[in-house]
Structure 1
């Protein structure tokens, strides 16, 4: 299922030079990083990598979605954290690579586990990253 954006509010621009062993920069200069394959994939690890960048973006976006649904539910999510764990590995018998994600959400202000799990599930419906990945990759939601 393709999700269509009704109206584009913002468009990010980033350009890569050298692929996984090079540099990535945004057009406004706010992001300018060296990328390198991690040691676990045979690289030097002397830079960030696409999986870390994806994890950072997903965690920040999911945290914002969580704040939106918590505000609607009048729930206290102050002090909460979202950690995105992005894994990469072979798919289709090694013909390509795929990703999987675990979102680990800590909600110290929400005492009831069922309420915490409900907030996380609702955030997963709101988050643009979740909407982009739904049905494409495995995303596990974990309440810490």
Structure 2
């Protein structure tokens, strides 16, 4: 199961081009927000397994970003190749749950700022306050 499959079956209201625009906002800000949302989602939905393998709560953002920027060709293989990896003393499993969490997170994030249009410009401003403001400016 791939992110593309999840997006298609869940009928999320954005295209890959729109996701690319979203990821090209301010990378640090977008990355922090997505990581936080995914971490909360994973921590709220996963339980330890008997063999002490946990679903990792901090996924490799570059894998997700590269997948969205280049397409689905290598993404599933990359996930399968990192099934068991030592992380802070625990074995972690990167599997379809991560893909689902990322898809849901991106959906929530786009709903926050509205559905992006192909001809729109998205600006991220940080006024130094705890809350970041996302502005959708149509070109």
Same fold? TM cut 0.5:
no
* Greater helix fraction, Structure 1 or Structure 2: 2
Q: Which has the larger radius of gyration?
A: 1
**What is the TM-score of this pair, normalised by structure 2?**
0.32
> Larger % of strand: which?
1
Give the TM-score of the pair, scaled to structure 1.
Answer: 0.31
